[in-house]
């Protein structure tokens, strides 16, 4: 029996844990990785809307096994110029509170190659990571066309809202 990842640090951790809750561990998978990552991106956008303080909480420390990534900056030429892209180098310290002209910048993991997901940290404090996972799962189940999935999707979405203390 698979268990939900205890760390939920990287995009891959979230995908694996979402598959566990979706009971989608056997290939061929019912939900594509890209669909699950889209749910993660949507959650980060929703999180920045309902609880921007969580996205701005830059004071949490990365765990000792947090992964740090150095990647080529896609905005630079391919002539060997190396840099750290704010989209690709996704670590808690680097993305803690990126702002441009007073607007919170939310990372999009669907915009980076899938090969980067195992080393791309999701910038969410540990106490809110399960809520993010619940949102991902609810999004996947809402996209399902079976009526029985709607109830589960609603439960997972309500768990997200409850853990985020939205409307309380």
For 91-102, write each residue's pLDDT tens digit: 443 444 455 555
CA-closest candidate to residue 137, choices 8, 51, 28: 8
Lowest mean pLDDT among 50-64, 73-87, 103-117: 73-87
pLDDT of residue 5: 54
pLDDT of 54 reads 82
pLDDT-derived band of residue 163, with 50, 70 and 90 as boundaries? confident
Q: How confident is the model at residue 152 (pLDDT cuts 50, 70, 90)?
A: confident
DSSP three-state, residue 165: coil
Give the per-residue pLDDT at 155: 86
Q: What is the pLDDT, as a whole number, of residue 167?
A: 60
Residue 151: pLDDT above 50?
A: yes
- Contact at 8 Å (CB) between 105 and 126? no
Q: How confident is the model at residue 29 (pLDDT cuts 50, 70, 90)?
A: very high
Residue pair 48/104 in contact (Cβ under 8 Å)? The answer is yes
Averaged pLDDT for residues 34-48: 94
pLDDT score at 115 = 94
Domain ranges of the chain: 15-61+82-163
Instruction: Read off the pLDDT of each residue in 43-67 and give the average, rounded to a whole number.
Output: 66
**Paired tokens of 54:** 């969580």
Round to whole Å and give the CA distance between 83 and 109: 18
Task: Confirm whether pTM is higher than 0.85.
Answer: no
Query: Where is pLDDT greater, at 147 or 125?
Result: 125
**What would the two tokens of residue 162 be?**
């409850």
Instruction: Give percent above pLDDT 70 in the chain.
Output: 63
Range of lowest pLDDT (15-29, 57-71, 146-160): 57-71
d(CA 5, CA 76): 36
């Amino acid at each position: 029996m698979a268990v939900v990842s205890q760390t939920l640090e990287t995009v891959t951790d979230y995908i694996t844990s979402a598959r566990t809750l979706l009971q989608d561990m056997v290939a061929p998978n019912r939900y594509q990785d890209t669909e699950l990552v889209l749910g993660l991106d949507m959650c980060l956008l929703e999180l920045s809307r309902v609880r921007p303080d969580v996205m701005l909480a830059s004071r949490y420390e990365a765990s000792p096994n947090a992964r740090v990534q150095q990647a080529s900056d896609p905005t630079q030429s391919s002539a060997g110029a190396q840099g750290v892209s704010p989209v690709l180098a996704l670590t808690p310290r680097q993305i803690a509170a990126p702002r441009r002209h007073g607007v919170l910048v939310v990372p999009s993991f669907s915009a980076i190659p899938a090969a980067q997901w195992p080393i791309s940290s999701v910038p969410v404090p540990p106490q809110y990571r399960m809520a993010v996972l619940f949102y991902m799962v609810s999004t996947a189940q809402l996209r399902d066309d079976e009526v029985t999935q709607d109830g589960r999707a609603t439960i997972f979405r309500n768990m997200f809202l409850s853990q985020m203390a939205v409307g309380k």
